[in-house]
Each structure stands twice: as structure tokens, then as C-alpha cells.
Structure 1
């Protein structure tokens, strides 16, 4: 379809139109300033930019990882407001460029309303995907009452500036904070990163962040999570970890490299955090495996290596290392759960989060007990029942 054809189609359906901002008395505020709370960026206070790794890392990282660290997957902006209208003004590093992802996933911002555990999606930014800067409405004409807002930032693009527009007479208040002062850290591949979710909130780390009362940090580096020791050292610097999830199998150059890197990665992290739970996830099933037995055999071999390493460490006394079979993440019939045979669709990500929910709840329960001084099994059962 020609560009003119797409334009005509968008004009014909008002729900597809890219609306402008006119006739509203708005005040625009930078998301990096109080009272907004930006999560998912462990080095934000030091570096002051939207970047998931430090600007000057203590350990050298490959150029590919350095570039991907500027993508804002997993980054969220949280606040409260009574504004009936909410807009965003976004300046990206570049415009939409990925054939297999929706522009809303790569470059968009989506919005949830509600407190942790009761957040509901309302809208995603609409914009001209050929441009790197845009303004968009997230909601308008709602009743004037205080609401908890969570914005999910673009998955596969860097953000230079993000401003939030609210009615000039509205109140903006700080996010009240997480009940649990710990972080869930996820290190992994493009699947952890968020390919190919149609919008940011549907990447599985973001889905999980709506289920648990603590901060999630997405350290997915698409195609480049090779389990290198430098990343283990950097991740070890993140303060207040509650759980580390390792989901990097698919990016390792070879099975031999996986067998070498996993013990070393865990050892480095353990030297700094001897008691933090670690969950090792093996790879999900790929669509091609239904027709390619060798591919299945390779995945099974890599799964065996990871399971045996976890069992070895547990036998040696580290009872806080755990393994989960990634073949279970997409359910009994995974064939329609991906966008391109590899990367999950929104359906696939929802299944992953739903499957992981009770597993993570079980691991976090001990962390919550340690921080609160009580066995919060009731909270654990509540999380399970919502799944």
C-alpha cells in the first residue's frame, strides 16, 4: 500500500488518527525531575540519562552492548496526578526501523493506571513513525481524581528527552514507593529485551513488574547477552538486589561457551552477593523445532548443562541457585506464541509471565520475610491466586 493509501485509511477511522495537541492549557515537566520516579535505571542518579548501564563502566563492555544499553526497555516513570488529560512529548535517538516489531513497541510509550497489583492499561502513544520526535495523548477528559500512573518507555530505542504534559491546574504527586526495597534483575537475550512485543508494557519483564511490589530492572541486550564476566561484575554493582534471573542461553556463541560462562558468571556474582536468589532459565521452544530435531537436541543439551550446573552448586551448599525449564514457558502448544518463529508475541509474553509468576513469588517470599521480619506466605498465596 502506498503512503497515500495508509494516510487515507488512517483518516477514515478516527481511532487510527494521530491527533495533535491544541486548545489545552498544559504544563510540561521533565520526567527526570521530581516528583516523577524513574525506575529500571540503576545508574540514573549518577549519570542523569536514560541508560541501563553506567556511562563509564568499571569493566569494559563490547560496543554492541554499549549501544543497546541506551535502549529504554524496562524503564518506567511513576507518579500520581489528578489531571483529566495526560500527554507525552518524546525525543528519541532515532526513528522506527524494525520490520518485525510494531512501531509502538520499538518507539512508543504506553500507560497504566492503578496501584501495584491492580494496574490497568489505557493507551499507547500515537505518532508518525518516520519521525524521531513526537507529542501524543495518553488519556483525556477523565474525571478529576488522583490516579497512580505508570509509563513504560520504548523497548528498542533510546530516549533523549521525555516530558509529561498535564493540565496546568492539576496536582502532581510522587509515587509512594515500593513496599519491598529490593530489585529483580533480569539479564538475557532479545526475548528478555522485549522483541517482539507490540507495545512496551507487553514485554514479559514489564508484565511481571505489574505483579510484584518491587522494582524490576531489564538487562536484556538483544543478540548480545553472551554471559561475559564483565556483565557479571557490572550487574553485581546494582544495589539492593532481591533476585537475579539469567536468561542468556540463546545468545551464547556455542554450547561449549555456555558451559564455560555460566559457572563463572554465577561465581563472580556470588562473590559480591552470596545469598541473593539466582534463577537460571533455559531457552524457550522455537517454532522450527516442530520440524527440526537437531535444533531440539541442541536446546536439550544446553538445558542439561544449565540444570547440572545448578545442581552442582546446590550440592556444594548454595541453596539459593535455582533452575527452570524454559520449554514450559510458552505452554503445551507454543507454535502460535511467536511473531517470527523465535521472539514471543504478546500472547507468548503473557504465557511466560503467567508461568513465571508463582516461581518468582516463591523465591521472593524468603526475601520479603528477611526484610519485613515475618513469613509473608499470605502475600505469596495472593500472588499465586492472581496468576
Structure 2
């Protein structure tokens, strides 16, 4: 009998020891998903592709990616972890696993959001479990978690200390900016989600920046213009779609695309950004000719729009966007974090001036 009692006490002691390390799991349903262009889309899709049936198939698939979405919450936890699942574990050949399938976290400070840590995805399985940051002071902090950029996210859970406080929050912004564009807008090749230039732009200007990048498929189709036109209140549209459009498509589609946006959002400023100088064109004459024709045609269409009486149009040339030292990209096309920082210096100043006006 005494032996049984001692065994029972030992089990109780072991259990109480484990309980000090117990955690509470916060399901996705407890958060308010932010950075979405539309409400009531399936899962963490940016667009309800069943509603917009005329979108090209590749565009539909890319809009299932959770690109640009995030959650914010307050907690005094000393440790922050994540469990999540993406549609698969595949990775691109010019991106980091963290950018493509992982998360990164920021904490709000008096002077803005400060990087706190990343959730590294499992390289073989679609399900991942990772510590984001630990050994923090048990003071209340407001966290921001950016979702994976290049994957369809199926579900996620936030894990905090067992007795930690938790309060889901929603950020308040005065301005909403919609960025439509290529893989560069989508986030390639930032090292992590929060360094994609739309995310950086949002933090820098305290604006609700909605990422509508579609890697390799930003070609200004009428159906895309109509879908973007259905987004509610918008203070600025940014069109950074030249890299994916052939010189002929730029010539044939730019005017109509802008006209359709203007019809749905009269008076809303539209910023047209030329393609960055592809460093691959330093010696590749075919790419150099394509880039020159793309940007030349884009400028001509912008001038045509002005001549036709369209107002509130702005333009950014390719000059200096990723610097002039040929060190701003990972593969001659997609910016590194350094390249994105250089882009932000110019684009951020332009966007800030437009929103101020």
C-alpha cells in the first residue's frame, strides 16, 4: 500500500513538473486576418476564384497564396511558437524556405515594428512546428505575424505560455494601398515575408498595403482590372506589372487597364512603376532589348492617358530603383533584401507624397 502511495505521489510530482511547461494553443479562429483584399474568401485566399471565373488559371492559383496577410495580438508570453500547414512542402529555386512557407514576427515599439524572430518550415513535410522567439520578458507586447508569401496556407495555431494573456488586435490605418504586380511585388526574393516591399511599405507609412502580386503572371488582363476594381475603399493603386508583360502587351493593355480601374474608382490616384533594370540584361542583349521596349511602351501609354484627360496619374521610371552597382538582385531579376530596401527608398517617398497630397 505504501509503495502504491509513493508511486502515486511520484506521478503527481512529475505531472506538476510538466505543467509548469504547459502551453496554451490559440487557434486561427481567434485572430482577425488582416491584409486581405476581400472578406469571406476561402481559407486564407486573397481572392474568391469561384466568383471571378474569368481570371486566368495561373492567376487564380496564385491568389490562393496567403501573400501579404498577417495577424496581430497582445500577450505577455515569454515564448512564442507556431504550428501550421501549407498545401505542400515544395520550394522555389530562388527563394528561402522562410519566405515561401514560413512566418516572421515583429513587436510594436514606440518608433514602429521591430523584428522579433522567424518560424522555419519543415523542409520535407507540409506540416511545420517551430519556435519563433523565446526567453522574452513577461511584459505585454503587441505581436505581428506575417503569413507565408508563396504558398496556400491551410491552417495555423499560435502557442504561448499556459498562463500568458492573449488579446487579438486589429490595426487601424488611415490609408489603403493596393499593389498589383509581378513576382517582385509577390515577394521574390526577400529572405522572409516581412521584407517583401509591400509589407515594408505598410510598416513604413502605417498604411494598409494589400499585396496583389501574381508571380510571373501580372499581364494586365481586363478580368484582373475588374476584380481589382471590386476592392472597397482604396486610396492608391500601384501598378508594378511591367516585368511580366511583353512589350506588345504593355502597348495593347496599359491604357484599357488603367481606364477600367479609373471607372470603378474615380479620383483614386494610380502610380505606374516601370520595370526595374534586370541585371541579367547587363550582357544578355535579348533581355536588354525587351526591357527597353517594355518601359518605353509603358511611358508612351502613360502619356497617352494624360493626353486623353485622365487625372491623378503618377509615374516612376526605372532609374536607380535597385541601385547602380549590379548587386541588388539574387538572380539578375528578383531583388535581394538590399534591392528591396533601395526600391523602398524611392517608392516609399513617392507613395508618401501622393498620399499626403
Question: Shift of the alpha carbon at 1:48?
Answer: 4.7
CA contact (8 A) 2:65 2:149 kept: yes
Aligned pairs for 1:1-387 (under 5 A) are 24-33=21-30, 36-43=31-38, 45-114=39-108, 118-180=112-174, 182-252=175-245, 254-333=246-325, 335-366=326-357
In structure 2, the CA distance between the partners of 1:22 and 1:360, relative to structure 1 (3 Å rule), is farther
Aligned residues: 340
Task: Write the distance in 2 (CA, Å) between the matches of 1:184 and 1:24.
Answer: 43
Task: Write the distance in 2 (CA, Å) between the matches of 1:127 and 1:271.
Answer: 43
TM (normalized to structure 1)? 0.83
CA contact (8 A) 1:194 1:200 kept: yes
TM (normalized to structure 2)? 0.90
CA contact (8 A) 2:34 2:170 kept: no
Task: Write the distance in 2 (CA, Å) between the matches of 1:359 and 1:270.
Answer: 20
Question: Shift of the alpha carbon at 1:116?
Answer: 8.5
Task: Write the distance in 1 (CA, Å) between the matches of 2:134 and 2:63.
Answer: 33
Task: Write the distance in 2 (CA, Å) between the matches of 1:177 and 1:287.
Answer: 38
Task: Write the distance in 1 (CA, Å) between the matches of 2:316 and 2:65.
Answer: 27
Provide structure 1 residue ranges, at least 5 long, that are not aligned to the other structure.
1-20, 367-387
Bigger CA radius of gyration:
2
Deviations 1:27-67 (A, max 9, x none): 1122343xx33222222x32351001114224511111111
Q: Tell me the SS of whatever aligns to 2:158.
A: strand
Question: Shift of the alpha carbon at 1:317?
Answer: 3.5
Task: Write the distance in 1 (CA, Å) between the matches of 2:351 and 2:331.
Answer: 28
Task: Write the distance in 2 (CA, Å) between the matches of 1:104 and 1:243.
Answer: 29
Question: Shift of the alpha carbon at 1:281?
Answer: 0.7
Q: CA RMSD in A?
A: 2.0
CA contact (8 A) 2:187 2:193 kept: yes
Provide structure 2 residue ranges, at least 5 long, that are not aligned to the other structure.
1-17
CA contact (8 A) 1:117 1:210 kept: no
CA contact (8 A) 1:57 1:234 kept: no
Task: Write the distance in 2 (CA, Å) between the matches of 1:55 and 1:71.
Answer: 12
Aligned to 2:14: none
Question: Shift of the alpha carbon at 1:110?
Answer: 0.6
Runs of 4+ aligned structure 1 residues displaced above 4 Å come to none
Aligned to 2:13: none
Task: Write the distance in 1 (CA, Å) between the matches of 2:128 and 2:20.
Answer: 18
In structure 2, the CA distance between the partners of 1:185 and 1:29, relative to structure 1 (3 Å rule), is same
Q: Tell me the SS of whatever aligns to 1:208.
A: helix
Q: Tell me the SS of whatever aligns to 1:244.
A: strand
CA contact (8 A) 1:71 1:159 kept: yes
Question: Shift of the alpha carbon at 1:347?
Answer: 1.2
Question: Shift of the alpha carbon at 1:234?
Answer: 0.5
Question: Shift of the alpha carbon at 1:250?
Answer: 1.5
Question: Shift of the alpha carbon at 1:99?
Answer: 2.2
CA contact (8 A) 1:283 1:327 kept: no
